[in-house]
Structure 1
């Protein structure tokens, strides 16, 4: 357990560094926005393209993993949304925002630095499929459900933005190169490795800077508790159920899915809710609360999954 804490806590410490820098006004929030844009548009795509291209498609893409992980994601999304609407009497848009908070993990920014040291470069495949599930599909669903009734062109705008999403494009490009077994030329590979090496620190620092602008009081913590439970407890359990007992996948895929499902909520969920002016306050509380809890909960989850003899 101490080994996983020593592996994970420095990563969360970079998030804390970004948080402290913004809270103490050492840097302007726009600086972390710029760092985040660099990580999202350049560093993270470079890393994913290189890792995906280095593996055969049959090794990095497992259709049953994608189906099982996506199923867990959608169950959490719709169950949380329904609970928010029926039990907490939230409107459809607010319910969808809270559902997105429970279903959208920070798999892009936290996935690579946390999973790759544990699972090796093969972990890039599960990370890529989790990004496809939680970014492409949940963003599309959430956008349609958060938009005011009758608003036109929402789905078209979302699909257009996804088509030009640099992270999704890098995953697709890397998968094609891996399937065709086309090696990346040496200078290009070194360029991608050098650029991609900055993905973790820059993305995590930018994440901390975004969290530094959010606040959490007792009332909002209580309001966010159900979505937090869905994100950090129900989602990993469903991922284990679908990938393990139901689909009978190799333990590597079960480990990967559960750890990815145990990631804290992505700030994208808050940005999405803010864009549609619905449920932003609740979603921001979920982002902050899950990140605080995951700093300890994720190492515990990883330790449980990698103990001797846990597999089927």
Structure 2
């Protein structure tokens, strides 16, 4: 376990470096906004496209893993929603809290860290978890918030969701990469090297950006943040482990990768959604801050547990 902790420290140290740079004012929010755009639209996109273009879709697409992940995640989503509604929160706020409870930072933190720590074979399962989060739960929260405000679900909401997915560079990169792989088109050497160089900026850039983004977030409703962090860091990986290993009997290595992905802290894009729709952004930022700080220990423990699988 100490060995795993020492391997994860550099990743969290980069987050800490970004946090310090942002907190000191050396790296202002405007600079971090541009760094995040670079990582999101260029570096991470290049990494995901290269990974998926060099994979066999038939070998990666594991519907049992997807079903097991959903079977574990949907009940937790409903549990967090129920707890929020029992606290008499509006539907939109309950949906945002549920999003905090099950959506981890798979894109910016999970892809680079888990591939490096668990091996390149982790690429497929990690991207399946990422795609499921984006396609299912990101679409769901938009539908719930929009529907609750309009009083009903209209066809226009589906158009909004569809356009949002098509504009998400991570979804586009994975989709195009798998299309290239399915067509049997080899990625030319110079193009592949270009993608390697650009994608190499994703890991340090994303981790630094995570830290810098945390530096301007203030704490609010710490009790709720601890509850949501507990769901995300403890209950979610436990539920995924039970579903994959005991119920669906997913292949052990792939299951281990998915469990590790489920243990990641609350994703930054949940805050972007909360900010965009003006639904409890401060509460979400606190959950991200608390879960990221605690994940130094919890993620280390989970990776140490799944690595021998």
Q: 8 Å contact 1:11–1:113 — kept in the other structure? A: no
Q: Which moved more, 1:42-51 or 1:259-268?
A: 42-51
How many Å separate the matches in 1 of 2:255 and 2:197? 31
Contact 1:243-1:253 within 8 A present in 2 as well: no
Does the residue aligned with 1:109 lie in a helix, a strand or coil?
A: helix
Distance in 2 of aligned mates of 1:213 and 1:130: 29
Match of 2:177 among 155, 174, 179: 174
Alignment match, 2:217: 214
Instruction: Tell me if structure 1 keeps the 8 A contact 2:219–2:282.
Output: no
Q: Counterparts of 1:155 and 1:294 in 2: how far apart (Å)?
A: 35
1:40 to 2:40 alignment: yes
Answer yes or no: is the 8 Å Cα contact 1:64–1:247 preserved in 2. yes
Corresponding position of 2:252 = 251
Match of 2:138 in 1: 139
Contact 1:52 1:60 in 2 (8 A): no
Note the 1:10-159 alignment, pairs <5 A: 10-86=10-86, 88-147=87-146, 148-150=148-150, 153-159=156-162
Name the structure 2 match of 1:4.
4
Shift of 1:305: 1.6
Question: What's the CA shift for 1:118?
Answer: 2.5
1:184 is paired with a residue whose SS is: coil
Q: How many Å apart are 1:135 and its aligned residue?
A: 2.0
Distance 2:280 2:132 in 1: 22
- 1:241 and 2:242 matched: yes
Structure 1 residues 202-211 or 74-83, which shifts more? 74-83
Query: 1:39-94: per-residue Cα shift (whole Å, max 9, x none)?
Result: 111111111111122221122221111121133222222211111111x2211111
Range moving further from structure 2, 100-109 or 59-68: 59-68
Distance in 2, matches of 1:9 and 1:62, equals: 31
4+ residue segments displaced more than 6 Å:
none
Does the CA-based 8 Å contact 1:39-1:203 persist in structure 2? Answer: yes
Q: Which runs of 5+ in 1 are unaligned?
A: none
Distance of aligned partners of 1:155 and 1:211 in 2 relative to their CA distance in 1, 3 Å threshold: farther
Question: Which runs of no fewer than 5 residues in structure 2 stay unpaired?
Answer: none
TM normalised by structure 1 equals 0.93
For residues 57 and 128 of structure 1, the distance between their equivalents in structure 2, rounded to whole angstroms, comes to 11
Aligned partners of 2:243, 2:3: CA distance in 1, in Å?
28
Instruction: Note the alpha carbon deviations across 1:90-141, whole angstroms, 9 max, x for none.
Output: 1111111111111110000111222112222221111211111212221111
How far apart, CA to CA, are the structure 2 residues paired with 1:279 and 1:124?
A: 33
TM-score (norm: length of structure 2): 0.94
Three-state SS of the structure 2 residue aligned to 1:149 is helix
Does structure 2 conserve the Cα–Cα contact (< 8 Å) formed by 1:97 and 1:269?
A: yes
CA distance in 1, matches of 2:71, 2:202: 29
- Cα RMSD (Å): 1.5
SS in 1 for 2:89: coil
Contact 2:7 2:117 in 1 (8 A): no
* Residues 45 and 167, structure 1, Cα contact 8 Å, conserved in 2: yes
8 Å CA contact 1:51–1:121 kept in 2: the answer is no
